């Protein structure tokens, strides 16, 4: 059926859902059937345009859709049933909200006549998901359904992207009504601002032109703004000669191989990035939000700097940190104006920045990511470094779980392109990485997709191995197995007198046998000199792999800004003796971690 015929047509609610997905360019959805969505599943069965990826748990559907969205720039779509289907979707919804990921979640609901009666598998889905979505809808009239789904895609993908929920009672799925095609009739109350104020941008350029110790601090907003934003960011860095750092969410927007790159900043950022943040005189924050993992002590955050902030969300500007110039708008659009104005008005004298770069070189010389290799035991940092070296020339996408392995991956795996790094930053969701990898692999079937995992995190959504097998998604699960919840243990060492309360996993599954049980390929590696061959084997196998990489059990993640300290009070790896670790955080800091 051609699109032209769809202008206004009679069809059932379930047909409308599938038609609306097609009309919004959806090729893949992630979901799990159940009583309240069976009419929609029946429609999915009778067509080939939208491919359904069956997961094993609704949380997996959500994270897979997030991975799909993050790696493509398109909205991720999930379809789940009422009640437990919807409540299981809450974690990925909040995850997507905090990391600004466009996610459209369609939930089934009990028939309208039963709503409020505590019916089987009923829950107040719009009530439960209201605080963890950008917006949500309960569709009570089939004639509203198509317009609501189109609006849902619009809201999810524009402005600051985020998750939305469309809750569709079963009787509405069966009812017949009129389908309308997506149209440009946006609601009047929702008008995200795209263009930045030119006067503010001009003021920002003037401030930047006079800077002696400038820094660019970029975040996930650059990724969300699209490839053009990353392109313009690189242009701006070249033009200005400013050093650049990024949050966890923004890695890849400026290439890690670029000469102006300082590495990631924040709690586990590099020494040079954090010191440069602390000492800068002009800070340009682009699409980041001054999160507490970034700023450290707020009263000692870049104390002598003028701050400029570009963000699409007005509530992000001046939320945690007062800025001198706030520019409300889309990153790419604002950067375009900024680059143009810089070219037109600023006579670049990069020599003026020489003393600043010399200072940065001295900080760099501390080599804060250095680690000691060991001939007998694989150091986790070494494992990530080797993984990077052996995959960097391929079309590689990395997802992670949450914990020490995530920080080591951020430090030692280097990204030269945006959309290559999928991680749960804001919510810190253990269990994110495996389903996210599935979503990435579905979007990029020929790419090498690796979930860098920890032995604890991986067990939170391990069931999606089964989905990966079913859908021929050859994802690689690279587990840094230290037998501990490493980051929990690290904090217990720092804060709680080394009392390792319940952070040691006494009964660890045999990950190789587990892989085989799922029909995947299992690899175990315990020796540094066998690591490269094992990684090559992992890459070569054309099916899902669980790689059990046994690493040094007690390694901790440094450098680190201890709780209660400022950017210039980092704990570096060579200083992190047992005593220093134990005394790094004082009693007051302890209350606040």
Q: Can you state the angle between helices 90-99 and 58-72, rounded to 10 degrees?
A: 20
In the bound complex, what is the minimum distance in angstroms from residue 435's beta carbon to another protein? 27
Spell out the residues 6+ positions from residue 498 whose beta carbon is closer than 8 angstroms to its own: 492, 582
CA distance 156 to 548: 37
Q: Which is nearer to another protein, 298 or 554 (CB)?
A: 298
Q: Which is nearer to another protein, 298 or 370 (CB)?
A: 298
In the bound complex, what is the minimum distance in angstroms from residue 329's beta carbon to another protein? 15
From 130-138, 200-208, 246-254, 392-400, span contacting another protein (CB under 8 A): 130-138
Q: Cβ distance 451 to 476 under 8 Å?
A: yes
Question: Among 74, 134, 170, 213, which one carries the catalytic annotation?
Answer: 170
Q: Which is nearer to another protein, 61 or 566 (CB)?
A: 566
Residues 161-200 that bind another protein (CB under 8 A): 187-190
Which structure tokens are listed for 218? 């970029």
Contacts with another protein, 295-324, as mask; x by CB under 8 A: xxxxxx------------xxx-xxx-----
Backbone dihedral angles phi then psi of residue 236, each to the nearest 5 degrees: -65, -40
From 231-239, 373-381, 450-458, 560-568, span contacting another protein (CB under 8 A): 560-568
Question: Among 22, 27, 51, 121, which one carries the catalytic annotation?
Answer: 121
Question: Among 15, 43, 58, 401, which one carries the catalytic annotation?
Answer: 58
Q: Tell how strand 176-180 and strand 8-12 pair up.
A: antiparallel
In the bound complex, what is the minimum distance in angstroms from residue 446's beta carbon to another protein? 38
The residue count for binding another protein (CB under 8 A) is 39
Question: DSSP string of 528-558?
Answer: GGGHHHHHHHHHH-SS-EEEEEEB-TT----
487 is catalytic: yes
Q: Which is nearer to another protein, 107 or 260 (CB)?
A: 107
Provide the b/e sequence for 560-580 (b: ≥16 CB within 10 Å).
bbbbbbbbeebbbbeebeeee
In the bound complex, what is the minimum distance in angstroms from residue 576's beta carbon to another protein? 17
Which structure tokens are listed for 222? 């650059």
121 is catalytic: yes
- Contact between 567 and another protein per CB under 8 A: no
From 24-32, 93-101, 379-387, 557-565, span contacting another protein (CB under 8 A): 557-565
Query: Which among 497, 486, 482 has a CA at the least distance from the CA of 581?
Result: 497
CA distance 587 to 496: 10
Backbone dihedral angles phi then psi of residue 304, each to the nearest 5 degrees: -110, 30
SS3 for 150-193 is: HHHHHHHHCCCCCEEEEEEEHHHHHCEEEEECCCCCCCCCCCCC
Q: Which is nearer to another protein, 89 or 294 (CB)?
A: 294
Q: Which is nearer to another protein, 91 or 240 (CB)?
A: 91
Query: Which among 456, 425, 35 has a CA at the least distance from the CA of 251?
Result: 425
Contacts with another protein, 80-119, as mask; x by CB under 8 A: ----------------------------------------
191 is catalytic: no
Q: Cβ distance 255 to 234 under 8 Å?
A: yes
In the bound complex, what is the minimum distance in angstroms from residue 167's beta carbon to another protein? 11
CA distance 405 to 482: 10
In the bound complex, what is the minimum distance in angstroms from residue 97's beta carbon to another protein? 11
Q: Which is nearer to another protein, 148 or 233 (CB)?
A: 148
Residue with tokens 């690189």: 234
In the bound complex, what is the minimum distance in angstroms from residue 592's beta carbon to another protein? 3
Question: Among 47, 120, 508, 575, which one carries the catalytic annotation?
Answer: 120
For residue 33, give the H/E element and its range. none
CA distance 151 to 135: 10
Applying CB under 8 A, the residues found at the interface with another protein are 126-127, 130-131, 134-136, 138, 155, 187-190, 267, 292-293, 295-300, 313-315, 317-319, 561, 563-566, 586, 588-589, 591-593
Q: Catalytic residue numbers?
A: 58, 120-121, 170, 487
């Amino acid at each position: 059926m051609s699109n032209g015929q769809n202008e206004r047509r009679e069809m059932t609610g379930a047909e409308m859902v599938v038609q609306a997905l097609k009309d919004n360019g959806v090729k893949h959805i992630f979901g799990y059937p159940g009583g309240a969505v069976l009419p929609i599943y029946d429609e999915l069965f009778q067509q080939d345009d939208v491919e359904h990826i069956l997961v094993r748990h609704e949380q997996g559907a959500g994270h897979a859709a997030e991975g799909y969205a993050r790696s493509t720039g398109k909205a991720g779509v999930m379809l789940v049933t009422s009640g437990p289907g919807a409540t299981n979707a809450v974690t990925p919804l909040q995850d997507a909200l905090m990391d600004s990921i466009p996610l459209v979640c369609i939930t089934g609901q009990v028939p309208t006549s039963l709503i409020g009666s505590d019916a089987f598998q009923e829950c107040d889905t719009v009530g439960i998901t209201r605080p963890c979505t950008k917006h949500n809808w309960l569709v009570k009239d089939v004639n509203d359904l198509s317009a609501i789904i189109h609006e849902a895609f619009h809201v999810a993908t524009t402005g600051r992207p985020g998750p939305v929920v469309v809750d569709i009672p079963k009787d509405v799925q069966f009812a017949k009504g009129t389908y309308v095609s997506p149209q440009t009739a946006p609601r009047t109350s929702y008008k995200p601002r795209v263009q930045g104020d030119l006067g503010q941008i001009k003021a920002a350029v003037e401030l930047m032109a006079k800077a002696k110790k400038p820094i660019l601090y970029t975040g996930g907003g650059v990724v969300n703004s699209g490839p053009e934003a990353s392109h313009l960011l690189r242009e701006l860095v070249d033009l200005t000669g400013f050093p650049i750092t990024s949050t966890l969410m923004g890695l890849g927007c400026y290439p890690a191989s670029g000469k102006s790159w300082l590495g990631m900043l924040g709690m586990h950022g590099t020494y040079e990035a954090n010191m440069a943040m602390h000492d800068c005189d002009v800070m340009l924050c682009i699409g980041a939000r001054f999160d507490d993992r970034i700023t450290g002590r707020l009263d000692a955050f870049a104390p002598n700097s003028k701050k400029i902030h570009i963000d699409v969300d007005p509530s992000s500007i001046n939320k945690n940190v007062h800025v001198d110039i706030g520019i409300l708008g889309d990153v790419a659009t604002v950067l375009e104006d900024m680059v143009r104005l810089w070219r037109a008005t600023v006579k670049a004298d990069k020599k003026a920045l020489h003393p600043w770069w010399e200072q940065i070189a001295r900080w760099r010389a501390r080599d804060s990511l250095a680690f000691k290799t060991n001939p007998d035991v694989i150091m986790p940092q070494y494992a990530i470094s080797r993984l990077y070296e052996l995959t960097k020339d391929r079309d590689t996408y990395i997802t992670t779980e949450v914990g020490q392995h995530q920080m080591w991956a951020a430090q030692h795996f280097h990204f030269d392109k945006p959309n290559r790094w999928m991680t749960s930053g804001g919510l810190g969701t253990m269990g994110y990485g495996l389903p996210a990898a599935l979503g990435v692999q579905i979007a990029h079937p020929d790419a090498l997709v690796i979930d860098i995992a920890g032995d604890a995190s991986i067990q939170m959504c391990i069931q999606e191995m089964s989905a990966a097998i079913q859908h021929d998604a050859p994802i690689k699960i690279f587990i840094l197995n230290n037998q501990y919840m490493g980051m929990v243990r690290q904090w217990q060492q720092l804060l709680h007198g080394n009392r390792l309360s319940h952070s040691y996993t006494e009964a660890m599954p045999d990950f190789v046998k587990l892989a085989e049980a799922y029909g995947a390929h299992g690899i175990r590696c315990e020796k540094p000199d066998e690591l490269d061959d094992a990684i090559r084997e992992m890459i070569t196998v054309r099916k899902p792999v669980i790689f059990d990489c046994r690493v040094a059990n007690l390694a901790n993640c440094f450098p680190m800004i201890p709780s209660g300290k400022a950017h210039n009070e980092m704990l570096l790896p060579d200083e992190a003796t047992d005593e220093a670790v134990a005394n790094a955080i004082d009693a007051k800091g302890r209350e606040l971690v």
